[in-house]
Amino acid sequence: MIRLFVALGLPEAVRERLTLVRAPLPGARWVPVENMHITLRFIGEVEPAVAEDIDDHLSRLTAPGFDIRLAGLGTFGSRGRVRALWAGVENTEPLLHLQAKIEAASMRAGLPAESRKFHPHVTLARCKNAPEGPAADFVATYGSFDLPPIPVDAFTLYASQTGRSGALYTPEAVYPLEL
């Protein structure tokens, strides 16, 4: 089995800039700079033959390139606890178009439909049992940064090896977008 997800990589300068959005936050484990990305479709564990099928459908997908903009910070969580701290990505039409095409390709490859709403973001920290208060303060203090638009000319199928020493993501295939 191989654990896969489809994502946009980010230029090194942008990832480096995002590592500056750090300050002591109880329970936070900061995502290493090389791991920062925008997930478009989490696939999960599949057999190699299914991975081949997914690659096949993704490589036939066509969509135009576009710019993305990062905007603000936010958190995921529930019941007073924060699970993740992230930088938001403006949800623009071309991004949604690409995400929808990747979803359609995933379905054609036989994957079950993604039921969660698409919420584009760059995870900056995973949190374990982190209370909401300090995270909300963090978002209020560091949430207003302004970064130039980021050109997106490709998307990537990543293999993910998760383990105690952290996740290792390996690009399995890069699919160019149209100019």
Residues in the site for ligand ATP, rule: CB under 6 A? Answer: 3, 5, 39, 42, 116, 123, 126, 160, 162, 167
Question: What are 42's two structure tokens?
Answer: 């989490």
* Residues, the chain: 179
Closest approach, Cβ 32 to ligand ATP, in A, equals 10
**Is 97 a catalytic site residue?**
no
Nearer to ligand ATP, 19 or 144 (CB): 19
SS3 29: strand
Closest approach, Cβ 164 to ligand ATP, in A, equals 9
Nearer to ligand ATP, 88 or 137 (CB): 88
Q: For residues 39 and 50, give the distance between their C-alpha atoms in angstroms, rounded to a whole number.
A: 19
Nearer to ligand ATP, 66 or 76 (CB): 76
DSSP 8-class letter at 39: E
Closest approach, Cβ 52 to ligand ATP, in A, equals 19
**Is 119 a catalytic site residue?**
no
Q: What are phi and psi of 48, to 5 degrees?
A: -55, -35
Angle formed by the axes of helices 93-108 and 48-59, nearest 10°? 140
Between the alpha carbon of residue 151 and those of residues 28, 63, 66, 155, 179, the distances in Å are: 30, 14, 6, 11, 11
Closest approach, Cβ 8 to ligand ATP, in A, equals 11
Nearer to ligand ATP, 21 or 84 (CB): 84
Positions marked active-site = 37, 121
